[in-house]
Amino acid sequence: MINTRAYAALKAGSPLVPFTLERRACGPRDVVLDVKFSGICHSDIHQARDEWGGAAFPMVPGHEIVGVVSAVGKKVKRFRVGDHAGVGCMVDSCRKCSNCRHDEEQFCEQGAAFTYNSTEMDRKTPTQGGYSTRMVVNEDFVLKLSKKMPLDRAAPLLCAGITTYSPLKRFGAKKGKVVGVVGLGGLGHMAVKIAAAMGATVVVFSTSPSKEKDARRLGARTFVLSSNAEAMQKLAGKIDLIIDTVSAPHDVNAYLGLLKIDGTMVLVGVPTEPAAVHAFSLIGGRKKLAGSLIGGIAETQEMLDFCAKKKVLSDVEVISASQVNEAYERTIRGDVKYRFVIDASTF
């Protein structure tokens, strides 16, 4: 067993505290990752506070995990000691169902083994996440990182990156298309950078006037304060694809009205309350309201390679482990530019 320092929530909503856990010994197909940085996703906060229900404690959150490979099992082919690597939201899946065979492990019919607040595929062993010094993960669920990417700025790609890359690609973000991004937080700022790197014209919708300058620096052509009814009205029927990253209840009808005919709005944010959708918002213009959950492992590797090639990285604030509770509060207030990343040497 591998003794590992970590930070955990011991019960729903309690502050995270230092914690130790035992990782399994390195199996023949396992990779041991010495974690260097771990991003703070808003999903960590939702789950540590049990806002979606059914959370299991103690919980070590964290699914934006990057580090250096420190050991590999005898049968591991794709990794060597010293490689830079990452782990995202999943650590295993059944590998046999139709979705797994089509590289959509996030939709495994048996339920994937998510990185924390879940179990291994034995359905008994709880999984614990990346706010820790070490991960032990089957090589099929470990991602390769170019050594050209600074690890701290690459960490958020493992969730915020793939969660926005996947729907942008699937729903056709490219040159000549107008893409709206709702909410300029961790996911939102990656959506802006990736959509711009795909060649799309990007419009940011935000509740925060202070983010206008950053939105443009990150790659947006237009910034709209969502409370400005006149500015919203000007864009009615002008947008091909909207990626909605908002973590709190808000009116989706206001954005559906901005889509062109046959346009699509994709929900990736998961507010705690259901959204009310008026049928008229969809039927006038044959619009589609869709959802998207992270991405499969192959697509995550494709996204990392795309970001390495296009020099797309996250804007991060690196913190020590003792600042994690304050970082949660600041994330909820929208006061982060644009992702907190924990320095794992401080766990």
Rounded-to-integer distance, Cα 90 and Cα 113, Å = 6
Strand partners of residue 273: none
Which of 288, 293, 318, 325 is the binder for ligand NAP (CB under 6 A)? 293
Distances in Å between the alpha carbon of 59 and those of 1, 9, 80, 142, 304?
19, 5, 30, 21, 27
Residue 112's binding partner among Zn ion, ligand NAP, none (Cβ under 5 to 8 angstroms by kind) is none
Helix spans in the chain (H): 42-48, 98-101, 151-154, 160-170, 186-197, 212-218, 229-234, 253-256, 279-283, 297-310, 324-332
Pick the piece of the chain touching ligand NAP (CB under 6 A) from 15-23, 115-123, 185-193, 308-316. Answer: 185-193
Residue 105 tokens, joined:
């492990």
Report whether 33 contacts 142 (CB < 8 A).
yes
Q: How far apart are CA 192 and CA 182, in angstroms?
A: 10
Least distance to Zn ion, CB of residue 168, Å: 16
Check residue 65 for interaction with Zn ion (CB under 5 A): no
CB 35 within 8 Å of CB 71: no
Which residue is nearest to ligand NAP, using beta carbons? 185
Quick one: which segment of 72-80, 121-129, 135-143, 184-192 binds ligand NAP (CB under 6 A)? 184-192
Minimum CB–partner distance for residue 157 and ligand NAP (Å): 12
> Closest distance between ligand NAP and the C-beta of residue 211, in Å?
5
61 binds, among Zn ion, ligand NAP, none (CB under 5 to 8 A by kind): none
What is the rounded distance in angstroms from the CA atom of residue 48 to the CA atom of residue 309?
A: 35
Q: x-or-dash pattern for ligand NAP, window 41-60, by CB under 6 A?
A: xxx--x--------------
For Zn ion, the binding residues in 155-184 under the rule CB under 5 A are 159
Q: Is 281 one of the binding residues for Zn ion (CB under 5 A)? A: no
Complex with Zn ion: residue 158 or 224, whichever CB lies closer = 158
User: In the set 8, 16, 21, 41, which binds Zn ion (CB under 5 A)?
Assistant: 41
- 186 near ligand NAP, rule: CB under 6 A: yes
Applying the rule CB under 6 A, the residues between 103 and 162 that interact with ligand NAP are 159
- Note whether 211 binds ligand NAP by CB under 6 A: yes
Strands 239-244 and 259-267: parallel
Contact between 108 and Zn ion per CB under 5 A: yes
3-class SS at 75?
A: coil
Q: Which of 10, 25, 81, 248 binds ligand NAP (CB under 6 A)?
A: 248
Query: Cβ distance 111 to 122 under 8 Å?
Result: no
Least distance (Å) between residue 68 CB and ligand NAP: 25
Q: How far apart are CA 164 and CA 303, in angstroms?
A: 10
Residue 93 contact partner, candidates Zn ion, ligand NAP, none, CB within 5 to 8 A by sort of partner: Zn ion
First-last CA distance in the chain? 19
**Does 93 sit near Zn ion (CB under 5 A)?**
yes
Do 271 and 249 meet the contact criterion of CB atoms below 8 Å apart? yes
Binding residues vs ligand NAP (CB under 6 A): 41-43, 46, 159, 163, 183-188, 206-208, 211, 245-248, 250, 268-270, 292-294, 331, 334
